[in-house]
Amino acid sequence: MPNKLEKFAEFNTFKNCSYLPFEKTKERHPLAGTWHQAYFKNNNPIVLELGCGRGEYTVGLATKNPQKNYIGVDIKGNRIWTGAKFAIENKLNNVAFVRTRIDFIEFCFSENEIDEIWITFPDPQPQKNRTRKRLTNPLFLNRYKKFLKKDGLVHLKTDSTFFYEYTLEVLLEEKRPILFCTSDLYENNPSENTELTDIQTYYEQLFSAKGEKIKYCCFKIS
């Protein structure tokens, strides 16, 4: 298994990976607005996973749904390496990864370019002075709105009761439509949706093994 530096080096050679430098916050990703034509070569829906980590959910969804395109986004290239390598070795041409800070996500896509968003086990940022870093903070929701199609779905999976309840409070205050929510996904899976339970990230497996309940929420931004 390559070490961290070797993964970073190999990441930069993967054709399914790209990087939006943190210091160039006013520059747009070169594929923004052209992901369908320039990368995926089709007009299939594009689904985004924010904070994808090792990419388990991105490649899992892509394997289950070849009729959709998937893009995983994370700040750590050595983590993305795992999912990107799997996608290449398994010829998953409907997968791409972007390394950047989610603070700059609006520069990676254009209006109405994304059909759906998954937020899987983000850092809950429980400290009061970290509110602006929470991925369901109103600032982030407004960023997502810039590229998510009208009526596009956002899915949240988390082990954190704090983050789950915080998200519900934000959605209610912002009057964002909540389609479904549960504090125990494995006891209350809507319509027995196998995408919600069959695919597990590293952190989901870790938290479930500790007896943590997995929370889930599906909502719209507009």
Query: 199: closest CA among 54, 90, 2?
Result: 54
Convert the pLDDT of each residue in 139-153 to its tens digit.
Answer: 999 999 999 999 999
Mean pLDDT check: name the lowest of 115-119, 149-153, 190-194. 190-194
Mean pLDDT check: name the lowest of 19-28, 45-54, 70-79. 19-28
Q: Using alpha carbons only, give the angle 136, 154, 15 rounded to the nearest 5 degrees.
A: 100
Distance CA 219, CA 212 (A): 23
To the nearest whole percent, how much of the chain has pLDDT over 90?
78
Q: Residue 195: pLDDT band by 50, 70, 90 thresholds?
A: confident
Q: Is the pLDDT of residue 185 over 60?
A: yes
Q: What pLDDT score was predicted for residue 25?
A: 60
Buried b (16+ CB within 10 A) or exposed e, 140-159: bbebbbbbbbeebbbbbbbb
Q: Is residue 184 among the annotated active site residues? A: no
**Catalytic member of 74, 103, 115, 123:** 123
Beta partners for 148?
Answer: 114
* Domain residue ranges in the chain: 4-18+52-220
Q: Is the pLDDT of residue 24 over 60?
A: no
Helical packing angle, 77-89 and 4-11, nearest 10°: 60
Convert the pLDDT of each residue in 54-101 to its tens digit.
Answer: 999 999 999 999 999 999 999 998 899 999 999 999 999 999 999 999
The number of CA neighbours under 13 Å toward the Cβ of 128 is 0
Q: Is the pLDDT of residue 202 over 80?
A: yes
Class of domain 4-18+52-220: alpha beta
Q: Residue 122: pLDDT band by 50, 70, 90 thresholds?
A: very high
Beta carbons within 10 angstroms of residue 169's beta carbon: 11
- The token duo for 93 is 């041409």
- Provide the edge-to-edge strand list for the sheet that holds 178-182: 17-19, 95-99, 69-74, 46-50, 114-120, 148-158, 215-220, 178-182
Distance CA 222, CA 219 (A): 9
